Amino acid sequence: MTLPALIPWQEMRERLLVIFPEGMPDRGFLVRDMTARTVFTALYLGAVAGSDTWLAPRHVLRMSDGQAACQDDTSRRAYLAEMSKAKAPSPPGRWYAENTREPLRDEVIRQGLVPVNAMVERAGVPTTSPAGRYALQPAFAALFHPALTSAQLEAEAEAWRRAHLSAAALARAALVRASASTASGNITVQCPGGPSIILPPGPSPIITKAVIEVFAPAFLGDPRVAWVSDSANKRPFRDAPLEKALGITLDAAELLPDVVLVDLDPPNRPGEALLVFVEVVASDGPVTEQRLRTLLDLIAASPRRYRPEHAAFITAYMDRGGDPARRTMSRLAWRSFAWFVSEPDKLLQLHDGRSANRKLAALL
């Protein structure tokens, strides 16, 4: 049987960026160089489901640029035969050292390609066996055919996602793509129970719009917008009558967060108001411990002397798989929350047992 036609692994990585768009869960595992090289090696060997040829991690580890350039069927079959031996020699210029076997197997294959139905794992192979056990799904392998044009790849990739990815994964990616597509023009934001405001284009205003129009109605009882910063022209939106009624003064000099929401009717807390401070993170600037303490001091010094339970702190991201979330998540303050535009009905809580001593069952 003729082996699949090949394109360079670098081009395969470019195609992976199209196949798995922004917003895909675990996208970082799916679009890295190691993943592209894994797909290349699988196609180099002909490890496509139904062919009875199977990929092992060592086939990728021991591949080299020199070997990859030998693309006639004879050379490719000889590589498979040689590297399938229990004591195969270590070739010069190999792509990866032996100690990278586990990241390749666990992150690229088991947590990356297999869960999204791009790769299948052969059943019945003992874990200690050196035999190959992975193969690309035929429909996924077809996305790397050299004859595909850019337009064809876009269409085929979309069809493949519809057929093979979960509804949740598709919805998450669609939300991120839709947000990105509106980022080039001024952004109109409709405040709940109030006026609309205009924000300049950019990734931060896109998240701000979602915080106000999606997060606030979903998670607050009777939401209002007290403050929205606008770093482009330094003139924030503010609701002065609401500030006066709450007994707080919102001032840019106080280094306020990007959005201040107020819940005028928080569930199960009659007669109270909940102040909600939101940091929008398109690149940096989450709610850290220092930011949380500064804001608590601010509201404690107000005429109403608000207590910590009268405030909530949110860090809003586009997607939890994106670089901003991965880079800043470790800095989030305890007793704060994280919310993601791509998963709008979910809220991540950083529970602090010191301030709210609840057992696990009470958090479920």
Share of the chain above pLDDT 90, in %: 46
Position 96 scores a pLDDT of: 92
Evaluate whether residue 131 is within a structural domain: yes
Evaluate whether residue 261 is within a structural domain: yes
Evaluate whether residue 2 is within a structural domain: no
Evaluate whether residue 171 is within a structural domain: no
Position 263 scores a pLDDT of: 93
- Return the SS3 of 53: coil
Q: Say whether both 157 and 188 belong to one domain.
A: no
Residues 6+ apart with CB under 8 A from 187: 198, 199, 200, 201, 205, 206, 208, 209
Evaluate whether residue 29 is within a structural domain: yes
* Paired tokens of 35: 């993943």
Closest CA to 272 of 283, 258, 285, 262: 262
Phi, psi of 281 (to 5 degrees): -115, 100
Q: Is the pLDDT of residue 6 over 70?
A: yes
Position 180 scores a pLDDT of: 59
User: Quick check: 280 and 226 in contact, CB under 8 A?
Assistant: no
Position 181 scores a pLDDT of: 56
As for how many domains the chain has, the answer is 2
Position 140 scores a pLDDT of: 96
Q: Say whether both 202 and 346 belong to one domain.
A: yes
**Sorting pLDDT into bands at 50, 70 and 90, what band is 20?**
very high
Q: Say whether both 82 and 122 belong to one domain.
A: yes
Evaluate whether residue 4 is within a structural domain: no
- Tell me what the mean pLDDT of segment 190-212 comes to: 87
Q: Say whether both 247 and 294 belong to one domain.
A: yes
Closest CA to 282 of 158, 187, 167, 166: 187
**Sorting pLDDT into bands at 50, 70 and 90, what band is 359?**
confident
User: Quick check: 226 and 282 in contact, CB under 8 A?
Assistant: no
Q: Say whether both 213 and 84 belong to one domain.
A: no
Evaluate whether residue 152 is within a structural domain: yes
Q: Say whether both 128 and 249 belong to one domain.
A: no
Evaluate whether residue 278 is within a structural domain: yes
Position 238 scores a pLDDT of: 80
Q: Say whether both 53 and 151 belong to one domain.
A: yes
Count of C-beta atoms within a 10 Å radius of residue 93: 10
CATH assignment of the domain containing 300: 3.40.1350.80
Q: Residues 95-151: pLDDT tens digits?
A: 999 888 888 988 899 888 988 889 888 877 776 677 888 999 999 999 999 999 999
Q: Say whether both 131 and 242 belong to one domain.
A: no
Share of the chain above pLDDT 70, in %: 90
Q: Is the pLDDT of residue 184 over 60?
A: no
Domain boundary among 165, 193, 214: 165
Q: Say whether both 241 and 210 belong to one domain.
A: yes
- Tell me what the mean pLDDT of segment 285-311 comes to: 90
Q: Is the pLDDT of residue 216 over 90?
A: yes
Tell me which of 149-163, 223-237, 278-292 is least confident.
Answer: 223-237
Q: What is the mean pLDDT of the chain?
A: 86
Q: Residues 39-49: pLDDT tens digits?
A: 999 999 999 99
Q: Which amino acid is at 18?
A: V
Domain boundary among 134, 165, 196: 165
Position 34 scores a pLDDT of: 96
Position 124 scores a pLDDT of: 74
Helices and strands (H and E) in the chain: how many: 16, 11
Domain boundary among 109, 130, 165: 165
* Paired tokens of 249: 């003064």
Q: Say whether both 147 and 249 belong to one domain.
A: no
Position 239 scores a pLDDT of: 83
Q: Say whether both 246 and 145 belong to one domain.
A: no
Q: Residues 248-284: pLDDT tens digits?
A: 877 655 567 889 999 999 888 888 889 999 999 987 7
Position 86 scores a pLDDT of: 66
Cβ-defined contacts of 113-121 (< 8 Å, 24+): 113/30, 113/35, 113/38, 113/39, 115/26, 116/20, 116/24, 116/30, 116/164, 116/165, 116/169, 117/164, 117/165, 118/30, 118/164, 119/42, 120/49
- Tell me what the mean pLDDT of segment 227-237 comes to: 69
**Sorting pLDDT into bands at 50, 70 and 90, what band is 157?**
very high
Q: Say whether both 214 and 357 belong to one domain.
A: yes
Strands, DSSP E only, in the chain?
Answer: 119-121, 134-136, 187-190, 196-199, 223-228, 237-238, 259-263, 274-280, 311-317, 337-340, 347-349
Q: Containing domain of residue 35, as a range? A: 9-165
